Amino acid sequence: MGNILEQLAICIERGKVNKDAKFPPALQGQDGADELTVKALDQGYSANDILKKSLMVGMKIVGDKFGAGKAFVPDLLIAAKAMNTAMEHLKVYFESGELKHRGTVVIGTVSGDLHDIGKNLIRMVLKGDGWNVIDLGVDVHADKFVEVISENPDCYIGLSALLTTTMVNMKTTNDVIKSKFPNTKIYVGGAPLSQDYSDEIGTDGYFPDPYSFAQHLSAIAS
């Protein structure tokens, strides 16, 4: 089945959380992301190698499948759950400074909107791609974004909305942030949105799924 890093990447891609997990059936009874991450550390693999050669590889594979219509939201969610399980073992390495985050992304669902499934998926994907993610939750007003940006001046912003009635609040949020932090990059996503709408309200881009957003951030941060 390949070395342990390859095995771990497969577990992430297919959403094998731990040995007790019954999903996917083909891997039932085998070690999952939880056990394999511990074993990889015990075998002397660095946290950096585990992150870049297993977790990010597995998430990229399922993300590419999603983009090609060969994987669906449930596949993304279970893959992200496996990834987050593995990441629990790597937390200490981020805290010690051995692992460096790519940067900070602040995300939130705009004021008036209480939907969070898409936002939560973005959080999980970005964490798996090595980003420090500050999730402000739902119904987030512009002044809260301003407060957090002042504490994280080099961060990127992701605004989410699911309703046509609340997507208009993205413009207000964008205007307030840009008036105080004109160089902060602000991106939008959500079912009713489009690149045309992003252009109309003056944000820096629209992304239809978390993987295209992650790829864009990685490109501009590298």
Please give the average per-residue pLDDT across 150-154, as a whole number.
97
pLDDT score at 2: 57
Of the two residues 135 and 67, the one the predictor is more confident about is 135
Number of domains present in the structure of the chain: 2
79 and 113 share a domain?
Answer: no
pTM of the model: 0.81
The answer to whether the beta carbons of residues 95 and 52 sit under 8 Å apart is: no
CATH code of residue 27 = 1.10.1240.10
Write the DSSP symbol of residue 211: H
133 and 176 share a domain?
Answer: yes
Q: Closest Cα to residue 155, out of 163, 146, 164? A: 146
Domain boundary among 46, 72, 96: 96
85 and 110 share a domain?
Answer: no
pLDDT tens-place string over residues 7-54 = 999 999 999 999 999 999 999 999 999 999 999 999 999 998 998 899
Q: In what order do the strands lie in the sheet with 132-135?
A: 132-135, 104-109, 156-160, 186-189, 205-206
Look up the domain containing 51 and give its range.
4-96
Q: What proportion of the chain, given as a percentage, has pLDDT over 70?
A: 99
pLDDT tens-place string over residues 60-109 = 898 888 878 899 888 988 998 898 899 999 988 887 888 888 899 999 99
pLDDT score at 221: 84
